[in-house]
Structure 1
């Protein structure tokens, strides 16, 4: 028993000298009063016994390379990647800043807005620093409001704040996202305010939506679907990216109108599951994605 412990300690000593003190095998042999071939055998034994672990780390792909691979893999028009920060809050703030730059780059006239953390942060940022001389004329919600008090999960409120910042015309839905029966939903769709929003949906240049996983159910009371792995703009998708038919009534932009929109940016807030993002990207719902570079690495690893 003592012999084995002494042997392991001796192997660890040789490994320490070689790998951590950067001594040559000849130097170790001289220090330990053994032959050089014995040092070589001891280093091999140290590796075999797990005393030494050797790992090879491939160089990380650059952000540009990651973005390019992401576009090719999912058929996207653009991929915007931000570095992972020290906390989710800081990462989401960085993403919100990039989102605002993207909006400016696109020069849209009519913009549809969903709900979510990053969208809420972006709206709050513009509240302090309004934008002048921009192209946006009208903003409208892409789906109804959630039943929680958190501002970022109320599309109408996000529209109001952004419209004030961009000096644009807001068009509100003034409706909850979910209806308990078809009759109530049908009545809402017959109102003038709903038709006004539909008129804007038909002219959308840019749709801004966040990608959500099952955590959205707890956050907003969203009525989840059994096979859904991800949600965006009120649509749930399975692992293959297939849109799952709803078993309930939800107030959201019709799929055919979303598909006609010139650009649809999907935002992956920090902490969103890889499976949810992969499902939404496979669905073809979005044309552009804003995510962390770490998320891009994980997505590409999943598809390789």
Structure 2
């Protein structure tokens, strides 16, 4: 009978869609469980749920949360080439709580844009970690995404914040697959780097990374008087970093205040997906916490290095003040 859904009369369709909607929304069953119950596919169940909404059987009311600053979000949409922007109201919220709440907002946004064929490129850091950590596994078993590594390993002091661990966790959250890029982020020797990039396993991973339609990344900025994190410190002196006009780093590259990737040798040592492919990615989601990243975020926005911004009120206001954009 279910295989002849299109041949049902309207009353029969309504009865079926009501049952499916009740199981999904009220009984909290996954689409896989519903598909098993009806001896059908998850994709048919997904279609039925959408039909239930289209026919008015299911009505969803969204109560706007006061933890988002929609006024600032609208100002950013008006002034920057962004597909979307999310600004957390973080007055009187400690740094770690800001990270967690931004992660939750980021996870909710990611859930809205993913599809079963999504390829999600993952960078590294606390902001990316907090998004992935907030994804509910049970709610997403039907979305079999692929998580990929966009550039090589950073070799951070805390491995759980590095790309390989984050990729595995993201894939697990969506019952999906993952693909590592088994190489360091930078290789100093040009001859060795070119040889490694041509290795079949490495080359395949890079080519797969070019197919990503979503990228999750943090933005590196200045801390105190230094731009250089421990990632860059080992390359200072060897890659003309001292004379660069960089204000931030993203995708393993340093960029200037206008968002241009700096023409320095360090940026040419990267093992990973090229910038042209990255900039063609549909969703380039940048997650930013901390006013010390104001200049870096402005550069990333001006250069269209990201087209979705997830940040907090303090950073948003700091950016608008720096650019003399009225927000009162």
Short-chain TM bin: 0.7 to 0.9
Shift of 1:240: 2.1
Deviations 1:31-51 (A, max 9, x none): xxxxxxxxxxxxxxxxxxxxx
Shift of 1:133: 3.2
Gaps of 5+ in 1: 1-61
Shift of 1:198: 2.5
**Contact 1:113 1:209 survives alignment (8 Å):** yes
Q: 1:7 maps to which residue?
A: none
The structure with more radius of gyration: 1
**Contact 1:213 1:230 survives alignment (8 Å):** yes
Deviations 1:116-144 (A, max 9, x none): 11112233444x85553343421101211
What SS is found at the alignment partner of 1:236?
strand
Deviations 1:181-208 (A, max 9, x none): 1122112211222222223223211011
- How far apart, in 2, do the equivalents of 1:130 and 1:263 lie? 24
Equivalent in 281, 296, 306 of residue 286 of structure 1: 306
Equivalent in 72, 89, 93 of residue 96 of structure 2: 89
**Contact 1:119 1:152 survives alignment (8 Å):** no
Q: 1:145 maps to which residue?
A: 153
What SS is found at the alignment partner of 1:204?
coil
- How far apart, in 2, do the equivalents of 1:218 and 1:204 lie? 27
What SS is found at the alignment partner of 2:205?
helix
- Over 3 Å counting, the alpha-carbon distance change for 1:156 and 1:220 in structure 2 is same
Shift of 1:210: 0.6
Shift of 1:72: 2.3
- How far apart, in 1, do the equivalents of 2:81 and 2:307 lie? 8
- How far apart, in 2, do the equivalents of 1:290 and 1:231 lie? 17
Q: 2:72 maps to which residue?
A: 66
Shift of 1:265: 0.5
Confirm whether residue 218 of structure 1 aligns to residue 229 of structure 2: yes
Give the alignment's TM-score, normalised by structure 1. 0.73
Q: 1:28 maps to which residue?
A: none
Shift of 1:272: 4.1
Q: 1:98 maps to which residue?
A: 105
What SS is found at the alignment partner of 1:96?
helix
* Regions of 4+ moved over 4 Å: 128-131, 221-224
- How far apart, in 2, do the equivalents of 1:136 and 1:259 lie? 24
Q: 1:295 maps to which residue?
A: 315
Confirm whether residue 250 of structure 1 aligns to residue 270 of structure 2: yes
Confirm whether residue 233 of structure 1 aligns to residue 241 of structure 2: no
- How far apart, in 2, do the equivalents of 1:136 and 1:186 lie? 33
Q: 2:126 maps to which residue?
A: 117
Deviations 1:235-255 (A, max 9, x none): 221122222123131123211
Equivalent in 79, 90, 93 of residue 85 of structure 2: 79
**Contact 2:291 2:314 survives alignment (8 Å):** no
- How far apart, in 2, do the equivalents of 1:268 and 1:136 lie? 27
Gaps of 5+ in 2: 1-67
| RMSD over aligned Cα atoms | 2.2
